[in-house]
Structures are given as structure tokens and as C-alpha cells.
Amino acid sequence: MSWKNLSAFQLFAEYVEVGTNISFAEIVKHLSVRETIIQEYGQPGLAYQQKFCEIWEIKKEFPWFPKDKVFINKDFRKKITIAFKALEEKGLHKEIKTFDGCYVDRLSRGLKVTSLHSWAMAMDLNAATNPLGGPVKFSDAFLQTMKDCGLYCGAFWKRKDGMHFALFNG
């Protein structure tokens, strides 16, 4: 049964963890985004990874990045590359202090839906200073640059996730 046939009450019961502050519009948005991703890439897993992911030796291109290699979706890598070059031009890359994960096989925090990290198409940066729920410590210029390069920042969500930068908005 498709989530589209469920009532608001059923959607919350099915997909939202108790105590999570999320609106009906947001849960619908999250489910729509996942439907799009599954249509385009398929479910996360080994077959998906073999087709769409790679190990990126990121320090070779960006020596300042705090990790040598990142397992990542190839399309996400392209966008991150453009964004990091744009950050470098403005000296904003210096704001990146820690890398806190790209590929992580798990559900979204607070939601019973697959996290974009399961597809390796989201990256967490500076997690210690930008926790889920806020505050956000990245500068406006940093976030705007990421956004202008086509990345989606959790900093702009109602339930802020300032560490989170992704290929899709959800």
C-alpha cells in the first residue's frame, strides 16, 4: 500500500517516531523525496552501491578536508566538488573542521524512513557544533554558497540539522 493512500493519522503512526516535532507537510515532503530517489537510484544496498557509488580520495583534490577517503554517491560527489571549489574561492572552506559521515546505513533521526546517508548522498560536517535541533554555527555566506551550488542544507529546515548537506532535500 502506497503512503499516498494513508490518512494523516496513519502516516504519523507509520513513519514518525513519538515525540518528534514534525508537521504533516514535512512528512509528506520526506516521503515524496524518497520516492523520487528510489525511482532514480533504487533502494540502498550492494547493487545500488556498485552502480552509483565510489570511493573518493577527497584529500587529493581538497588537501584541507579532514578525511582522506569518502564513500559517496557519484552525483553527490560532483556537486560537492563544485561547492568546495566555490567555498575555496571565498576562503569559506576554513569553516569545515570535522567530517562526521557520508555513508551510514540507518533511518532518519526521529523518522522511520531511510536516511539519505544510506544512499551516501548526504554529508555531515562539524557535527559537534551543529547538532540536530540547532544551533547552526556555519556562517550565512557558507550556507548560501552550498545552497547556490545545488546542495540542500539541514540548516534551512524547520527542525534544524546544521551539520547536514545533501543531494536531495529530505
What single string gives the DSSP state of each residue in 20-70? ----HHHHHHHHHHHHHHHHHH-SSSHHHHHHHEEEE-HHHH-TTSS-S-E
What single string gives the DSSP state of each residue in 59-97? HHH-TTSS-S-EEEEHHHHHHHHHHHHHHHHTTGGGG--
Site for Zn ion in 100-129 (CB under 5 A): 122, 124
Smallest separation (angstroms) from Zn ion to the CB of 162: 10
Q: Could you say which of 30, 34, 77, 164 contacts Zn ion (CB under 5 A)? A: 164
Within 13 Å, how many C-alpha atoms sit on residue 150's CB side?
10
How many chain residues are in contact with Zn ion, going by CB under 5 A?
Answer: 3
Taking CB under 5 A as the rule, which mask of x and - marks residues 65-104 in contact with Zn ion? ----------------------------------------
Smallest separation (angstroms) from Zn ion to the CB of 161: 6
**Grid cell of 102 as nine digits:** 557520508
Asked if 155 is part of the footprint of Zn ion (rule: CB under 5 A), the reply reads no
Smallest separation (angstroms) from Zn ion to the CB of 117: 6
Which residues of this protein are in contact with Zn ion, per CB under 5 A?
122, 124, 164
